[in-house]
Amino acid sequence: MASKSVIKSRVQEVLRLILAGAEFPEVRQHATQQGWELSDRQVRRYIEAAYRQFTKLTVRAVEQLLGRHIMQRRSLFARALKNGDLRTALAVLQDEAKLEGLYPPSKIAPTTPDGRQPYAPHCSIELQERLPRLVIAQSNHDDAEMRLLEQASPRKFYAAPDIAMPLQRLNVMALIYVNEQLEQAGQLLHAFAMTNWEGDPDGVWNAIAAAAAYRFRIGKLAWEEFTTEIGVPW
């Protein structure tokens, strides 16, 4: 069984082979020529280890293929500098920057895919504006507007638009508000019913009804003020 130092050295050799454009057959042949005495499965493990090394060496540890392309371009960049070929070096740097998405898109569609709305670049509309518009679009079943807002919303974790979580929170708050209002309405109706059935000589049921009605009204006014402030009509 090979030692850790030997395995590390072999991984580095496989790494150099892949940078030179080698695929599995070439790596398999090299391993045989070097007398490594490896099975095909073991060779593939070395290749996988080399790809993992790619991702460690790249600034952005992304997919193995992206790491491979970036490392190949850096190898070309080093060769160009060594040969004093600054034009090629600059071209390689530009190509790597495009590969990593460092440049803004050079072309933007003038309209949305359905042609009904102007195309909105990412982040051109603030979240505080997009959220009310999304709520209104959902209420009106405006699919085109909803697609437009999704296109204008930058992706966060799990490839979700940044508008998704605020909308979810707003929906939860709306459910809480409705639940509280139903509770107050239930107390009010219960107090009215008990007054009709038993009477209210000491005014207890009347006080309960008044308190429930007051809390219902205050809750309604507070919700209207909140939704008006964030620009969502209810």
Asked if 100 and 60 count as a contact pair (C-beta separation under 8 A), the reply is yes
Q: How far is CA 42 from the centre of its chain?
A: 36
Q: Which amino acid is at 149?
A: L
Tens digits of pLDDT across the chain (234 residues): 678 888 889 988 998 888 888 888 999 999 999 999 899 989 988 988 888 777 666 544 455 667 777 788 888 888 888 888 888 888 888 888 887 777 776 655 555 555 555 554 444 467 777 788 888 888 888 887 787 777 777 766 556 677 877 888 888 888 898 999 999 999 999 988 988 888 888 888 889 889 999 999 998 888 888 888 888 776
Provide long-range contacts, Cβ within 8 A and 24+ apart, for 92-97: 96/70
Q: Which two tokens stand for residue 181?
A: 């209002």
Can you tell me which residue has the tokens 């490839």?
159
Whole-angstrom distance, CA of residue 94 vs CA of residue 101? 11
Exposure class string for 59-78: b at 16+ Cβ within 10 A, else e: eeeeeeebbbbbbbbbebbe
pLDDT at 113: 53
pLDDT at 142: 82
Whole-angstrom distance, CA of residue 84 vs CA of residue 5? 36
pLDDT at 59: 46
- Three-state SS at 81: helix
pLDDT at 121: 47
- Three-state SS at 124: coil
Instruction: Report the 10 Å Cβ neighbour count for 195.
Output: 16
Among 180, 199, 214, smallest CA distance to 191 is for: 199
pLDDT at 198: 84
Whole-angstrom distance, CA of residue 71 vs CA of residue 100? 12
Whole-angstrom distance, CA of residue 122 vs CA of residue 143? 18
